Chain A
Amino acid sequence: MKINQEEREKTSRKCSSVVDGNFEEVPRETAIQFKPPLYRQRYQFVKNLVDQHEPKKVADLGCGDTSLLRLLKVNPCIELLVGVDINEDKLRWRGDSLAPFMGDFLKPRDLNLTIILYHGSVVERDSRLLGFDLITCIELIEHLDSGDLARFPEVVFGYLSPSMIVISTPNSEFNPLFPSVTLRDSDHKFEWTRMEFQTWALYVANRYDYSVEFTGVGEPPAGAENVGYCTQIGIFQKNGGRATEACVSEQHDQHVYKAVFTTSYPSLQQERFFKLVLVNEVSQQVESLRVSHLPRRKEQDGEQGDKPKDIGGSKAPVPCFGPVFTEVEKAKIENSPKPFCVGDKFFVPLQRLLAYPRLNRLCANEEMMRSVIADSIPLSSDGSAVVTDLCNYFDEQFEF
């Protein structure tokens, strides 16, 4: 009995990272070890492709345990991420791990993101997968029997017809380098040589008007370079660019797949999260300006001096952090209206706030900022500045 190929690759992860705490035991030595493991190299390959082409709608056919989707969901350009698999159980169990984290609510993405998992077969047509920018089929085709393999191009290339398709599959020429020479997984129906794959790919590309490039991951060991990559990859790009929206809408709705899991991420495109982020950023900026106003005032009053000047215990290098501004940003801040005090009130003009890059990135103009924060943060009577008490109870509470 054999264990699944991917499972095996995952067992041979090395561990010495101090970042995540997600440790695995050091595996037994295997004849050929890929660093990073091969499945990761494949995922990283797709991720790099996404970084490069910035697709908005991405689908992974045969998504399995959704590892690739989890890797891709952090990509800021993606707005719709879809996984399709025939194993419904796996999808259900893995769904939750794709849901937004708590941190995603506090630091929302810029753009909306929806993730949907469908239960269904890649050789069935579902109109909800039309109009995608990228469809990936990672280690998928070798699991299809001859009938399904024949239908596959017609559905993926002919019907779904995305701008780009990535197909990866084992390169059987590499197999002799493994201790056992049979298929890499008991469920594989075939494993192709480079020639077999490329012949198939070129035929399909030609038929559905795509161009194709070949590459791979998993470098062969020294001395065996002639066998090629362990995993061969074909990148198909549709000639004539993106599918036109018109052509998509003309299609009949055809819902064959069953949606098993759907989630949408908070983003700055949603009003309540935009407000949350803006109010939080404004409060923090105002607070930081307020606090930096305090000691200066104290010096003027001559009250400074009773603070202990003890540095004895600390041998650590003096930390310096906080936002670093470029000269242009500095000048912009310097030239904006300054915060000021009237009595025991402290005012920060909205124009000043807009000069800070983090706020400027969120908010284009004063009017917009005012309307969003007005019911959460006290403003001066003319609405041009945020107003707060210069001193509060906790300034003195902070005892060191």
Chain B
Amino acid sequence: MSGRARVKARGIARSPSATEVGRTQASPLPTSVDLSNNEASSSNGFLGTSRISTNDKYGISSGDAGSTSMERGVKNKQDFMDLSICTREKLAHVRDCKTGSSGIPVKLVTNLFNLDFPQDWQLYQYHVTYVPDLASRRLRIALLYSHSELSNKAKAFDGAILFLSQKLEEKITELSSETQRGETIKMTITLKRELPSSSPVCIQVFNIIFRKLSLWPGFAISVSYFESKLLFSADVSYKVLRNETVLEFMTALCRRTGLTCFTQTCEKQLIGLIVLTRYNNRTYSIDDIDWSVKPTHTFQKRDGTEITYVDYYKQQYDITVSDLNQPMLVSLLKRKRNDNSEARLAHLIPELCFLTGLTDQATSDFQLMKAVAEKTRLPPSGRQQRLARLVDNIQRNTNARFELETWGLHFGSQISLTGRVVPSEKILMQDHICQPVSAADWSKDVRTCKILNARSLNTWLILCSDRTEYVAESFLNCLRRVAGSMGFNVDYPKIIKVQENPAAFVRAVQQYVDPDVQLVMCILPSNQKTYYDSIKKYLSSDCPVPSQCVLARTLNKQGMMMSIATKIAMQMTCKLGGELWAVEIPLKSLMVVGIDVCKDALSKDVMVVGCVASVNPGITRWFSRCILQRTMTDVADCLKVFMTGALNKWYKYNHDLPARIIVYRAGVGDGQLKTLVDYEVPQLLSSVAESSSNTSSRLSVIVVRKKCMPRFFTEMNRTVQNPPIGTVVDSEATRNEWYDFYLISQVACRGTVSPTYYNVIYDDNGLKPDHMQRLTFKLCHLYYNWPGIVSVPAPCQYAHKLTFLVAQSIHKEPSLELANHLFYL
């Protein structure tokens, strides 16, 4: 198959990725917003998915900045899809008021700005036709723009749809222009609709207007409708660019692999990556590599002439391609308009493409990541300074101001709002209730306390090499001492010496593990991934026994032995089914569930779904399961399988079903909300209903997002700082159509803390917003891998840890025999 053909085949066969799956399965989705059949879709929100694809030809664009705004339009589009899902109106208890009231009010500054415009502001949408018809978009635009009726009006036009902020005198305006060749072209401008500022189309036009100003290098900006008004948000953004061309990468790879498996490896490593071309500063994704095309081959230029790639780059950009044997990267170009033409391919020269993003190697380099973090993590004060500079830029730039003014817009003030800090939580230990000094880390506060419940560890193995035997022994002594003080009895294990290679470790495990063995500890001689992966794979699925891998290097750290032993002892307790601590849960029969989804590291079309449910009222014991799936609807189906299993477990332990279930769903991409509401919630509901013959449990489903646009700062001692742990924001920066709130449940030592965003999409528990917020906050205290608060509720964090282990190391479903233990910590 030729490279070209392969791309096409891939393009079709590729199953939906996480970001794409939200688009419903049956209907093809347009790449641009439908504006042509607005009468039909205006009544029920703006997105009539099924109707869109057939007859629309043009998306919004802004004059000559066509292609870029178009691409961005696609991204926005997905957000808008989510916005049209109005979940709050179905939730009677929060229809009137979704804000809480408990806690101490705190004044917060945001990265949101008012956008002021007259109260009666409207956007007028026109349709423009040409007689005789003109195919060239550029010519259509040029003809229309040169007309005096339109030349001094604020406008956005894509060749068919025209947006104006001022109404034309007539509903239908007829204009005529003469082309260079003396041909008279009649243009008919017909008013299609008048849009209020809150309309999604309007918001999209606003986004285009603002981006066209391009005043914000280094900022991610967007305009969207928040609680009661349109706001502009800006956040400092970074792009990581590698000082390595694709050719350099390929050459290095070739040297490592040798020629035999080079092409395959190279495709595996490169396809899907984003590259930036040196000569025109554009980004492309690599969809294929065409090994048969060389830079000395020719292609056809726009004017029909043939030219070699080498000559083209020399002529056009004065770049000399030095390696004439390199293959070509193939990128499928996004279709600008939704016509049915064949997707176009671009051939890119590896030597002229830079790789973007960090390599796996870089991300696992702690020192490097620390350096990156130091560069990219701005403290709140730095962020505020940058925002101030941005506002200054906008206000000083006469062009920008003029452009906005012609649209009737005024860039307003930075938004301040009032949040609340909910009360801090007490940590319940076995015989002690502890009020931590800081929720960020209470390890010191509970050092002398006994953990809630531990199972005795009697039969277990330590695998180590000759070289690490000594350190293993001294660690063991330390471990037994700290475990004893925690109330965790650790007997002396059987120590097995193995050779220093991954296969030897697995062989020893196979040889020595019998049904009585409760846990296997491996002291790994190096952090080579194969050691960890092969041991975890074997002990998680082939022969399910809890395992604990420790790097020999970690144990060699002087003066750290006690704290390392404490941490490992805690993990071991959890892996055996023990419980470390609890918080007070006011609801008596509540099951909390965490769900996370990620892609498998090896086969990107496989989705790893991790589900974790609490199985006791104290929320200290968990049922965990991980399922591999191919599509989003399958994800919904497997949730049903999981819920049924979790409810059976609950019933087994509590002899009844939980009165309430709260599901925290993470791993949701833009545009996927509809799938969640239409598929996942019904599946969850039906599994709950089917488990019980009489009254079924009440269910809430909350979407958890760690990435969101708003940032909040408090002003203290004349500088801005991160808000305190437990800060809740449920007004102004939230969305009117959703039951949503922000919660800050983490500390950022460096940089600006990101709030976690919660959107309650289904709720028949009817808890007051106050209670929902506080319960969520409590759950952030229950992640046993860290004696402190975490950024998401513990079930989500567990689900995340589980999916990570499976996606990175195991690549298959772990055995159900381990489901009652937090074996993946």
Contacts and interface: CB of A to CB of B under 8 A. Distances in A.
A280 interface: yes
A305 interface: no
A107 interface: yes
23 contacts: A3-B143, A8-B139, A8-B180, A11-B142, A16-B304, A18-B300, A21-B284, A24-B302, A36-B302, A102-B354, A103-B277, A180-B180, A180-B181, A180-B182, A284-B252, A288-B252, A313-B264, A314-B264, A319-B325, A322-B323, A324-B323, A395-B256, A397-B529
Given A102-B239, A106-B243, 15 more contacts: A13-B303, A17-B300, A17-B301, A19-B309, A35-B305, A103-B278, A104-B278, A180-B182, A313-B264, A317-B291, A317-B292, A319-B291, A321-B325, A396-B528, A398-B256
B260 interface: yes
B263 interface: yes
Interface residues of B, number: 84
Interface in B174-197: 177-182
Interface of B: 67, 134-139, 142-143, 146-147, 177-182, 214, 239, 241, 243-244, 247-248, 250-252, 254-265, 276-282, 284, 291-292, 299-305, 309, 312, 315-319, 322-327, 331, 333, 336, 344-347, 354, 361, 399, 526-530
A21 B335 CA distance: 10
B287 to A, nearest CB: 13
Contacts of B243: 106, 276, 280
A103 B354 contact: yes
A323 interface: yes
Nearest to B402: A89
B347 A103 contact: no
Interface in A4-33: 4-5, 7-8, 10-11, 13-28, 30-31
A27 B179 CA distance: 13
Contact of B312 (A19, A89, A180): A19
A101 B303 contact: no
Contacts of A200: none
Given A8-B179, A20-B346, A323 B303 contact: no
Nearest to A26: B135
A111 interface: no
Contacts of B182: 179-180
Interface in A50-97: 74-76, 89, 92-93, 96
Contacts of A96: 214
A3 B177 CA distance: 9
Contacts of A318: 259
Given A5-B180, A11-B136, A17-B301, A321 B326 contact: yes
Nearest to A104: B278
Given A317-B292, A322-B251, A3 B142 contact: yes
B346 to A, nearest CB: 5
A328 interface: no
Contacts of A397: 361, 528-529
A344 to B, nearest CB: 13
Contact of B252 (A44, A101, A291, A309): A291
B327 A319 contact: yes
B346 A323 contact: no
A21 B344 contact: yes
B336 to A, nearest CB: 8
Contacts of A321: 247, 250-251, 254, 323, 325-326
A178 interface: yes
Contact of A74 (B263, B317, B529): B317
A3 B179 contact: yes
Given A3-B146, A89-B399, A319 B323 contact: no
B247 A393 contact: no
B351 to A, nearest CB: 9
Contacts of A178: 180-181
- Among B136, B254, B331, the most chain A Cβ lie within 10 Å of the Cβ of B136
Contacts of B247: 321
A19 B347 contact: yes
B252 A287 contact: yes
B527 A393 contact: yes
Contacts of B251: 288, 321-322
Contacts of B309: 19
Contacts of B180: 2-3, 5, 8, 178, 180, 184
Contacts of B344: 18, 21, 23
A280 B243 CA distance: 8
A320 interface: yes
- Among B139, B252, B300, the most chain A Cβ lie within 10 Å of the Cβ of B139
A244 interface: no
Interface of A: 1-5, 7-8, 10-11, 13-28, 30-31, 35-37, 44, 74-76, 89, 92-93, 96, 101-104, 106-107, 178-180, 184, 276, 280, 284, 287-288, 291-292, 295, 307-311, 313-314, 316-324, 393-400
Contacts of B138: 7, 10-11, 24-25
Contacts of A309: 260
Contacts of B146: 1-4
Given A11-B142, A103-B276, A316-B263, A393 B399 contact: no
B529 A310 contact: no
A314 B277 CA distance: 28
A1 B261 contact: no
Given A3-B146, A21-B344, A291-B255, A16 B278 contact: no
Contacts of A313: 264
B325 A310 contact: no
Nearest to B134: A28
Contacts of B323: 321-324
Contacts of B527: 393
Nearest to A103: B278
Given A19-B312, A397-B529, A399-B530, A310 B399 contact: no
B333 A21 contact: yes
Contact of A106 (B261, B262, B263, B278): B278
Contact of A288 (B244, B255, B299): B255
A288 B279 CA distance: 26
A188 B182 CA distance: 17
Nearest to A27: B136
A184 to B, nearest CB: 8
Nearest to A320: B325
B250 A15 contact: no
B135 A25 contact: yes
A76 B318 contact: yes
Contacts of B181: 30-31, 178-180
Nearest to A23: B344
A316 B276 contact: no
A13 B346 contact: no
A319 B147 contact: no
B689 to A, nearest CB: 47
Contacts of A20: 280, 346
A21 B68 CA distance: 12
B528 A400 contact: no
Contacts of A22: 67
Contacts of B361: 394, 397
A47 B537 CA distance: 62
Nearest to B138: A11
A322 B280 contact: no
Contacts of A17: 299-302
B720 to A, nearest CB: 30
A400 B257 CA distance: 8
A92 B399 contact: yes
B241 A102 contact: yes
Contact of B301 (A16, A44, A284): A16
Nearest to A185: B180
A88 B678 CA distance: 54
B58 to A, nearest CB: 12
A398 B399 CA distance: 53
Nearest to B135: A25
A18 B328 CA distance: 12
Contacts of B239: 102
A15 B302 contact: yes
